[in-house]
Amino acid sequence: MADAVKEVPLNSVQVEALVVMKIVKACAASFPTTATGSIVGMDVNGTLQITNSFPFPTADIAASDSHPNDHMAASNIAAAAPRSKANVTYQNEMIKYLREVNVDANNVGWYTSANMGNFINTSLIENQFFYQKEPNERTVALVHDVSRSSQGALSLRAFRLSPSFMVAYKESKFTAENMLKTKLTYKDVLIELPIIVHNSHLLTSFLHQLPSSAPKDELKFPASLADLNANTPDIPLYPNLESLDLSIDPYLERTCDMLLDSIETHYTELNNFQYFQRQLAREQAKITAWKTKRTAENSTRAQQKLAPLPEDEWERLFKLPVEPSRLEGMLNAKQVDQYSRQVDGFTASITSKMFAVKSNLLPESS
């Protein structure tokens, strides 16, 4: 029965509202330093239910070494925290304590914070591979974008590494030839799963019983059931005025800057690969010339009835350049795609709002 359940692929992630609040609080408290932690739960018929979470211990930077870029060093340490031996031991201890109080104690992945959608990097891949490398492992990576959430909408996404990328990463085969053979592209790196935020029935009842503002006019006694349905009270916590915000500079401008930086990095990776191709062509031309010369020498020695010279000495005399890994370029291309989707999604809503108020933004035509 257990084997049959494991064969069901993951199709969604259900996160408890309390877990969402814990992740948001932990990520916001350490911003702009990266925050990471462990999540626990269980898999039920292809839905990964996340019921609890706890952060990993943070690394303190010594006061004597204080520097404006200290948060970058702390972020690098925190990004590698999920796979460090100390935190693996800490995670196992926490799960043991959770098991003692009779709550879900199955590790189902980890979470991390992000800034402006910048989370697709080698740390994310290495951490998720660390959790997902075991056969039939049901783990995900939750990514909470603190900057995007500050715009009024919760940004929480769940990712898994694709099976084809797992095979390539396990074998470290990210050469151009292997990628062409397996047809591996940046679109095959991550698989995003839909997230469902789940509230308990008690919390749902509480939200529906939140008192709304009292009516200013005197209410008339309803004459029928239809009058009761027509005069339903407003939904609690409504309306959300943040959705009417027209500011585009704080988020969109910074995202475009980071998009341009990623494109520049892409061209740098492309130039490095082109340099490798030129070096390889130069060395291969030297090897071809050497082989031609050695063949001519052996022909002359054969006419003189002398022993031929070995024709495989070129392996000792010449050293072909090592092809750089295309993993960084693939991840950077995925990050460019991520930034592009952010710009597209953000401008779509802003454009409609600005079109609605364009009469107030443009001078009246005479």
pLDDT in tens, 153-180: 788 889 988 888 888 888 877 877 787 8
How far apart are the C-alpha atoms of 96 and 28, rounded to whole Å? 27
Q: What is the CATH code of the structural domain delimited by 7-60+71-199?
A: 3.40.140.10
The lowest-confidence range among 2-11, 131-140, 203-212 is 2-11
Of 118, 114, 110, the residue nearest 31 (C-alpha): 114
Mean predicted confidence (pLDDT) in 336-354:
77
pLDDT of 313 over the 60 cut: yes
pLDDT digit string, tens, across residues 224-250:
767 666 656 555 555 556 666 666 556
Confidence of residue 62 (pLDDT cuts 50, 70, 90): very low
Kindly indicate the confidence band of residue 214, based on its pLDDT and cuts at 50, 70 and 90.
low
- Give the chain's radius of gyration (CA, Å): 29
**pLDDT in the model for residue 75:** 61
Residue found under tokens 């919390």: 203
Angular region, 79: left φ>0, alpha ψ -120 to 50, beta rest: alpha
pLDDT at residue 257 greater than cutoff 70: yes
- Mean pLDDT for 114-129 is 84
Mean local confidence (pLDDT), 142-153: 80
Would you state the pLDDT for residue 132?
85
pLDDT at 238: 57
- Whole-number pLDDT of residue 82: 72
Among candidate residues 268, 363, 339, the one with its CA nearest the CA of residue 116: 339
Q: Does residue 283 have a pLDDT over 60?
A: yes
Residue 5 pLDDT:
44
Q: What is the pLDDT of residue 136?
A: 65
Please give the sequence-ordered ranges of beta strands (E in DSSP) within 177-318, or none if there are none: 190-193, 195-198
Q: Is the pTM of this model over 0.85?
A: no
Residue 57 and residue 65 in contact, taking contact as beta carbons nearer than 8 Å: no
pLDDT value, residue 330: 83
Q: Give the span between the Cα atoms of 6 and 50, in whole angstroms.
A: 17
Residue 37, pLDDT > 70, answer: yes
For 101-130, what is the mean pLDDT?
Answer: 84
pLDDT of residue 4: 45
- Is the pLDDT at 215 greater than 60, yes or no? yes
* More confident position, 358 or 291: 291
Pairwise pLDDT comparison (210 vs 131), residue with the higher score: 131
pLDDT at residue 27 above 80? yes
